[in-house]
């Protein structure tokens, strides 16, 4: 089999000349003109060797090498750094980040060919199929949870639903907080500041691998797996990385039977892109006139996104006691949509769970609120089994 070499260099003349040198001696050549493109091609094509320039305008060769070495799918590919930099420190830096060999420009064709031949000879071949065979094969049931506006308890509902599912299915369940900069669960559970979601969104789409997403999950006092958002408001800018979100949700669905996505409020672009990947969507509202009206408009917007109305399940989350709350039939009439369940107010229970740094369903599993969550979980399991 002819070995494939990926050349990554922003100098088009170098791409052409080096490519021709290596093609003449029988190698198959692929080319990328910047670091981002090089990362994507490395993951997609799994070349036998990467010839990598150091000085590039977007992502330099050192950072490209770091990312390749962190990714299980590309970590074993030999890397030959190829640059005009001749200082010893530059070479040392290349080896420290994971390069296998180093050449300086310009180089004689025979020298280049010998280095390439030596690297390929001493590096064991790692086939893409072998890497993929080590990864789990499944597609979980993904539930997106959101509300028309903030302050309606989306995160509290989604995290407790995930905990209720764990007690019912005794299988892998993931809860994912997906709005960077607005994370609350880590603080509520006494966990250290979370950066894993940021790191996933900051990288390229090619870097959002199953193994990277798996390593980002944390657990606390249960079998529930958590992907938690940061609490630094400035991180909200990462919500613009829509393609990374799509890759993330796809990978999460391969890691658990159920995946609960906390999508926050409203319909930012990343939520619009993620919702079609969900098996169903749960809408949270309160039994008050304004939240009902806002949710009605949200349902209309979701219909415009071609989401099926039957896959939209409304939960009335009455968090506090309020004389203005409407009963379930009144909510249905004003909303023009069926209501799947109603959660009765239990502020003391949630306050106690927060004080204990745990979830309400876990804190008091025999409570009325826990039983309501278990009933919602059972209905969800039934829908999953039918699908």
Q: Is the per-residue pLDDT at 106 higher than 80?
A: no
Beta bridge partners of 81: 52, 102
30, 73: one domain = yes
Q: What are phi and psi of 351, to 5 degrees?
A: -65, -40
Q: Is the per-residue pLDDT at 349 higher than 80?
A: yes
120, 149: one domain = no
> What is the per-residue pLDDT for 72?
74
Q: Is the per-residue pLDDT at 83 higher than 80?
A: no
Chosen domain end from 133, 158, 188 = 133
Chosen domain end from 99, 133, 167 = 133
361, 249: one domain = yes
**Per residue in 163-180, pLDDT tens?**
999 988 878 899 999 999
303, 163: one domain = yes
Q: What are phi and psi of 369, to 5 degrees?
A: -60, -45
The two tokens of residue 208 are 């959002």
Beta bridge partners of 8: 32, 52
Q: How many CB atoms lie within 10 A of CB 86?
A: 9
Element (H, E) at 346: none
Provide mean pLDDT across the span 211-227: 87
Q: Is the per-residue pLDDT at 221 higher than 90?
A: no
CATH number, domain of 87, equals: 3.40.50.2300
**Which range has the worst mean pLDDT, 134-143, 200-209, 349-358?**
134-143
153, 278: one domain = yes
Provide mean pLDDT across the span 262-269: 97
Q: Is the per-residue pLDDT at 223 higher than 80?
A: no
154, 107: one domain = no
What is the rounded CA–CA span in Å between residue 79 and residue 77?
6
Element (H, E) at 213: helix 210-216
116, 161: one domain = no
Contact 273, 279 (CB under 8 A): no
Provide mean pLDDT across the span 333-343: 96
pTM of the model: 0.69
202, 314: one domain = yes
Chosen domain end from 68, 100, 133 = 133
Provide mean pLDDT across the span 43-48: 87
Q: Is the per-residue pLDDT at 135 higher than 60?
A: no
Contact 197, 228 (CB under 8 A): yes
- CA-based nearest residue to 114, from 244, 235, 25: 25
Q: Which residues contact 246 (CB under 8 A, 6 or more apart)?
A: 273, 274, 277
Provide mean pLDDT across the span 246-261: 95
What is the rounded CA–CA span in Å between residue 76 and residue 79?
9
- Give the number of domains in the chain: 2
Provide mean pLDDT across the span 85-113: 78
SS3 label, residue 294: helix
The range of the structural domain enclosing residue 378 comes to 141-386
């Amino acid at each position: 089999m002819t070995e494939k070499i990926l050349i990554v260099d922003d100098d088009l003349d170098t791409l052409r000349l080096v490519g021709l040198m290596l093609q003449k001696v029988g190698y198959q050549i692929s080319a990328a003109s910047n670091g981002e493109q090089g990362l994507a091609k490395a993951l997609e094509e799994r070349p036998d060797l990467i010839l990598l320039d150091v000085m590039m305008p977007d992502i330099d060769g050192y950072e490209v090498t770091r990312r390749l070495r962190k990714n299980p799918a590309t970590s074993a590919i030999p890397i030959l750094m190829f640059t005009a930099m001749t200082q010893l420190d530059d070479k040392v830096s290349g080896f420290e980040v994971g390069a296998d060999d180093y050449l300086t420009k310009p180089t004689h064709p025979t020298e280049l060919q010998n280095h390439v031949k030596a690297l390929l000879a001493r590096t064991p071949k790692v086939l893409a199929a072998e890497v993929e065979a080590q990864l789990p094969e499944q597609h979980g049931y993904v539930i997106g949870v959101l509300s028309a506006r903030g302050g309606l308890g989306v995160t509290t509902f989604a995290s407790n639903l995930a905990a209720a599912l764990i007690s019912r299915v005794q299988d892998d369940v993931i809860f994912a907080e997906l709005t960077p900069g607005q994370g609350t669960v880590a603080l509520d559970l006494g966990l250290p500041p979370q950066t894993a979601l940021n790191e996933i969104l900051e990288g390229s789409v090619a870097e959002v691998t199953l193994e990277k997403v798996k390593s980002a999950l944390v657990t606390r006092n249960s079998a529930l797996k958590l992907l938690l958002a940061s609490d630094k408001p400035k991180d909200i800018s990462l919500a613009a990385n829509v393609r990374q979100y799509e890759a993330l949700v796809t990978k999460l669905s391969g890691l658990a039977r159920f995946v609960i996505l906390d999508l926050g409020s409203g319909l930012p672009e990343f939520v619009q892109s993620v919702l079609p990947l969900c098996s169903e969507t749960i809408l949270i509202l309160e039994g008050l006139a304004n939240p009902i009206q806002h949710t009605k408009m949200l349902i209309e917007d979701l219909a415009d996104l071609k989401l099926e109305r039957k896959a939209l399940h409304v939960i009335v989350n009455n968090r506090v006691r309020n004389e203005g709350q409407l009963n379930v039939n009144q909510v249905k009439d004003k909303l023009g949509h069926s209501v799947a369940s109603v959660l009765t107010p239990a502020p003391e229970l949630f306050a106690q769970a927060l004080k204990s740094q745990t979830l309400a369903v876990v804190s008091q599993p025999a409570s009325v609120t826990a039983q309501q969550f278990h009933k919602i979980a059972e209905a969800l399991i039934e829908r999953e089994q039918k699908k």
